Every structure is written in C-alpha cells, then in structure tokens.
C-alpha cells in the first residue's frame, strides 16, 4: 500500500511549534532553525494543502479555520506515532515515550513529588512533563489531547473525557496554631461560613463549592483575602490573616511542623472527589497506564500513612476503564 502525501512530518512539527508559541520568530528560537527556512516550510505546506493555516495578528500569528483543523489532526498524528514507538519498544519489555501529566494545584503539591519520584525510578526512559491548571482547564486539555492524563475533580460523564474515580477527601478548616479555634475537635460548616476566609478566585472548584454551601445556608461568603495562587491560602493562614478550607493532605507537612492546625468540618462534612481523567477517544500508551497505576499506589499509601484523610474510590480492576474506555464519543456531556 502506498500513500500520496503532500506534506511531511518536519513541516507538521514546524507548524505545531509556530501554533503553540504564536510567532515565527519564537518558533525559530525554539527549533534552532532560521526564520526564512520556517517560512518556506509553511509556504510549501500551504501550497500543497491549497489553504492558509496562519494569519498575522499583531506581532504574531493565529490559526485560520483550516489551521485549527490541521492542528487537531497533526497533534493526533504525532501522539499516535509516539504511542506506536512506545508500543513497539514495549515488546522488548522496555517502557519508553513521553507523557504529559496534568494536576490540580492543590493535588500537585500533595501527590506530584512522590508520583514523579516513583515513576522516574521505575521508568527512567520515559520523559515526563507536569502541567498544573484549574479543573475546567485540565478537562479541556485532556479532551484536546494536550495532556495524556490528569488528576482533577470528578465531573462524572463527559463526552470526550473518561473519568476513573481516584479518592474522596474530606475538607478541613485550616487555622493558625495559636488561634482560639485551634483546640477544637471539629467545627460545623455553619460556623465556618461566619469566619473571614482566604479563598481562591471564583473559577476555582473550592471557591465554587464554598459559594454553593453559603447559598444553601442563606449566608454570604465572608471573604478576607482572595488569591490566585493556592500555596498562598495556607501561608496567609499561618500568618494569622484569616482561615481557609483545604484537604488534610494539602497541609500535612505544615500541620506536622505545627504551622497550622486542621479542624474537621462536620454537620455536614465537606468532601471532594478526585479522578484520573484520560481522553475517551484515544487509547492510552503503556507508559500512561503505568503512570495511572503509580498514582493509585501512591494514593493508597498516603491514606494508609495518614497523610490523606480520605478513602480510595478505585478497585483492583480500575485500570481496565482507562485502557478500554467504552462508547467513544457517545457519553453524555
């Protein structure tokens, strides 16, 4: 079988790089190729396709409608090639390739160190990249194949994303160690809603949860400080500038150093459910499955060690749902 190809992989790689950095000059620096050579590659590709893929915008370029389609298809081509290389190498028992892992900011600090360390120890020939983003952004990145796997909030059914339940974690009120509440064994949600809270911006899942709970209790959230970087939440509490609400694992080391205290919230208890999110329309590589397995192992260890106050949500066959997601494209959105 022969294929009549008018463009090659080098042109596609150049195209993807320009699209990602937004200009020919920055792509030239990244690829170590002279800008006129890049321009020539794109011009020849556009002539072969009989379509423009970029239009100038300010000092950079943006994709045309044809360019957006090509970008989506080109990403899939390169991901399939990478998976093919890894799968062929795996025949000899070696796990190779590249993985992009997405994580919530609050989960990254809790899990990323142990996950990355264990993965690197077991699979040194796999190149691992980690991206931190809010839940909605991670969902979009997974559906667009910009990350291979993400640890994010469990949003249930999604047209393009497969969710494998990971862990349900309880939320705690985080307070300064010398605060009057520090000796409490528990605190009601209604009491929490009366406190001056340090909260992330509105698009953050935690903020949305607390806003909803305030409405349920016919209260207005008492915002002391609003931040756009989650590590500031506990740090500002440590400085006595307010209270916040986080999972125990998020502040475990600070609690051990007695920099903050974590008080269980009850009546009702607040929880968050995390899941492993993978593309529904693309089978995972062997390396991706190995990473998912390590994530589950680390969650189990953290719960057993008391680092995480929660319960694992996966069973012994959980990897099956990642390796063979059913009903591609037919799930409810």
DSSP string covering 186-238: -EEHHHHTTS-EEEE-TTSHHHHHHHHHHHHTT----EEEEESSTHHHHHHHH
Does 132 fall in a domain? yes
- Into how many domains does the chain fold? 3
Do 224 and 181 reside in the same domain of the chain? yes
Do 139 and 281 reside in the same domain of the chain? yes
Nearest to 105 by CA among 258, 228, 237, 196: 228
Do 212 and 226 reside in the same domain of the chain? yes
Residue pLDDT, tens place only, 20-32: 999 999 999 988 8
Nearest to 237 by CA among 292, 157, 181, 312: 181
Does 332 fall in a domain? no
Do 34 and 84 reside in the same domain of the chain? yes
Q: Which residues contact 96 (CB under 8 A, 6 or more apart)?
A: 85, 86, 89, 90, 125, 126, 287
What whole-number distance in Å separates Cα of residue 174 and Cα of residue 245?
A: 6
Q: In angstroms, what CA-CA distances link 66 with 9, 53, 88, 130, 299?
A: 18, 6, 33, 30, 43
Residue pLDDT, tens place only, 35-77: 999 999 999 999 999 999 999 888 899 999 999 999 999 988 8
Among 94, 115, 131, the domain-final residue is 94
Mean pLDDT rounded to a whole number for the chain: 87
Does 153 fall in a domain? yes
What are the φ/ψ torsions at residue 217 (nearest 5 degrees)?
A: -95, 10
Q: Is 253 helix (H, G, I), strand (E, B) or coil?
A: helix
Tell me the helix, strand and coil percentages in the chain, rounded to 5.
45, 25, 35
Q: How far is CA 21 from the centre of its chain?
A: 20
pLDDT of residue 151: 93
Does 42 fall in a domain? yes
Residue pLDDT, tens place only, 184-238: 999 999 999 999 999 988 777 888 889 999 999 999 999 999 998 778 899 999 9
Does 245 fall in a domain? yes
Q: pTM to 2 decimals?
A: 0.69
Does 328 fall in a domain? no
Token representation of residue 266: 């009850």
Do 2 and 87 reside in the same domain of the chain? yes
Do 162 and 282 reside in the same domain of the chain? yes
**CATH number reported for the structural domain that contains residue 221 in this entry:** 3.40.190.290
Does 331 fall in a domain? no
Beta strand 261-266 with 187-188 is: parallel
Residue pair 148/158 in contact (Cβ under 8 Å)? The answer is no
What whole-number distance in Å separates Cα of residue 114 and Cα of residue 256?
A: 18
pLDDT of residue 2: 65
**CATH number reported for the structural domain that contains residue 115 in this entry:** 3.40.190.10
Domain containing residue 151: 95-167+272-323
Beta strand 197-200 with 149-153 is: unpaired
**CATH number reported for the structural domain that contains residue 52 in this entry:** 1.10.10.10
């Amino acid at each position: 079988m022969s294929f009549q190809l008018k463009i090659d992989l080098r042109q596609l790689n150049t195209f993807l790089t320009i699209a990602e950095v937004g200009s020919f000059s920055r792509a030239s620096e990244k690829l170590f190729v002279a800008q006129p050579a890049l321009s020539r590659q794109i011009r020849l590709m556009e002539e072969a396709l009989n379509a423009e893929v970029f239009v100038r915008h300010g000092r950079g370029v943006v994709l045309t409608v044809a360019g957006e389609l090509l970008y989506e298809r080109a990403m899939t081509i390169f991901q399939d090639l990478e998976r093919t290389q890894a799968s062929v190498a795996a025949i000899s028992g070696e796990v190779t390739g590249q993985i992009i892992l997405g994580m919530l900011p609050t989960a990254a600090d809790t899990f990323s160190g142990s996950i990355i360390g264990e993965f690197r120890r077991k699979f040194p020939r796999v190149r691992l990249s980690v991206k931190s983003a809010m839940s909605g952004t991670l969902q979009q990145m997974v559906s667009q194949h910009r990350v291979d796997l993400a640890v994010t909030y469990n949003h249930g059914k999604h047209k393009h994303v497969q969710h494998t339940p990971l862990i349900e974690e309880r939320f705690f009120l985080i307070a300064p160690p010398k605060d009057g509440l520090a000796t409490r064994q528990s605190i009601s949600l209604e009491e929490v809603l009366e406190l001056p809270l340090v909260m992330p911006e509105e698009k953050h899942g935690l903020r949305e949860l607390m806003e909803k709970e305030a409405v349920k209790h016919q209260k207005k959230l008492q915002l002391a400080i609003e931040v756009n970087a989650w590590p500031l939440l506990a740090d500002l509490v440590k400085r006595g500038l307010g209270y916040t609400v986080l999972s125990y694992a998020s502040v475990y080391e600070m609690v051990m150093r007695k920099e903050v205290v974590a008080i269980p919230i009850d009546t009702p208890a607040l929880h968050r459910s995390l899941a492993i999110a993978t593309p529904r329309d693309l089978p995972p590589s062997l390396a991706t499955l190995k990473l998912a397995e390590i994530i589950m192992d680390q969650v189990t260890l953290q719960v057993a060690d008391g680092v995480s106050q929660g319960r694992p949500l996966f069973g012994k066959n959980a990897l099956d749902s990642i390796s063979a997601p059913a009903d591609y494209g037919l799930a409810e959105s």
